[in-house]
């Protein structure tokens, strides 16, 4: 065999042995909801086991449904050293609480628990009970000093549900990036982070659901479709979780200051930000703040870099849309 022939064969062998990238889709359950993750694996490997290992770590830090998690121990006043997941969520949560003047507040847990899921305990709610709970609520009442969590009121409890899914999307996105993935989409219960392009080489298409009262998932309709790249997106909505009393519709979002469900006209708030944790927390904050206060915050603090899409009901219950100028660039 000639030297040239040997080189040619070796070259072909190397090419045939080089791992080929391919798009992979993983699905499963986390935080009581469905996750969907799509990514271009540079070596063709499936990273679902790594992803689910990260989910378990995050749950052991932030899930109130795991008795031994860090957040559960904090709520039970058991001394615990917070991990980096907990610290990241706590610090960013406190920053957003300050920016929104407490519209986002991760100490709202006692009020949420008092009302119960789907307001099943609403008959037991009294002004006296709310007044007692307000004394335990307030992001100023808890802090991290060194490696210790300090409470001013031992009855103060944390609820990370309005920020944890978004943060988890970011964590999984970073995990995929560390594996060499430059194109990926991570979606957990409607919170999304995307990077690069989809399998067709286009920006990622992410839908915004039309706010209708139907609770049948298969009947969901899209209000709009966004084209996103290198962004986080989250939507918070009241249109599928509410109760009506004396002709008034009360939303599932609890106002941390009043202790009662909000009655604003916003049906859903979609936020696009550089990371999904930020989008997640602000989406909840805007549901508490309402349309005008939300618009005012955006106008006064453009440095936040947020783009929003609010669906709201006008005085005759007709659905209307308000979107920030930059948000229009995402609708194609």
Q: Please give the distance of CA 331 from its chain centroid, rounded to a whole number.
A: 21
Token pair for residue 92? 């960013």
Q: What is the DSSP letter of 120?
A: T
How many Å apart are CA 286 and CA 264, to the nearest integer? Answer: 10
**pLDDT tens readout for residues 126-176:** 889 889 989 999 999 999 998 899 999 999 999 999 999 999 999 999 999
pLDDT: is 130 or 78 the higher one?
78
pLDDT at 242 over 50: no
Q: What pLDDT band is residue 282 in, cutting at 50, 70 and 90?
A: very high
Q: What is the DSSP letter of 103?
A: S
**pLDDT tens readout for residues 288-321:** 999 999 999 999 999 999 999 998 887 777 888 9
């Amino acid at each position: 065999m000639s030297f040239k022939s040997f080189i040619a064969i070796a070259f072909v062998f190397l090419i045939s042995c080089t791992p080929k990238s391919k798009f992979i889709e993983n699905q499963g359950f986390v935080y009581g909801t469905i996750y969907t993750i799509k990514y271009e694996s540079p070596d063709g490997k499936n990273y679902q086991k790594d992803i689910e290992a990260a989910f378990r770590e995050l749950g052991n830090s932030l899930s109130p449904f795991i008795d031994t998690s860090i957040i559960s121990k904090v709520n039970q006043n058991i001394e615990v050293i917070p991990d980096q997941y907990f610290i990241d969520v706590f610090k960013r949560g406190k920053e957003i609480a300050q920016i929104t003047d407490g519209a986002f507040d991760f100490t709202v847990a006692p009020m949420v628990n008092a009302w119960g899921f789907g307001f099943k305990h609403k008959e037991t709610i009294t002004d006296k009970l709310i007044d007692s709970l307000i004394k335990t609520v307030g992001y100023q009442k808890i802090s991290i000093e060194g490696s210790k969590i300090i409470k001013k009121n031992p009855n103060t409890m944390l609820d990370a549900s309005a920020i944890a899914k978004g943060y988890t999307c970011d964590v999984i996105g970073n995990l995929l990036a560390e594996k060499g993935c430059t194109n990926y989409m991570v979606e957990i219960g409607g919170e999304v982070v995307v990077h690069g392009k989809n399998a067709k080489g286009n920006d990622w298409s992410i839908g915004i659901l039309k706010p209708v009262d139907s609770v049948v998932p298969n009947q969901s309709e899209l209000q709009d479709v966004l084209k996103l790249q290198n962004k986080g997106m989250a939507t918070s909505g009241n249109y599928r979780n509410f109760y009506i009393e004396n002709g008034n519709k009360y939303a599932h979002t609890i106002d941390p200051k009043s202790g009662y469900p909000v009655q604003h006209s916003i049906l859903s708030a979609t936020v696009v930000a550089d990371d999904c944790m930020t989008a997640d927390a602000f989406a909840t904050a805007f549901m508490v703040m309402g349309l005008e206060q939300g618009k005012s915050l955006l106008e006064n603090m453009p440095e936040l870099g947020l783009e929003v899409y609010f669906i709201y009901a006008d005085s005759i219950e007709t659905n209307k849309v308000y979107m920030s100028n930059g948000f229009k660039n995402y609708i194609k």
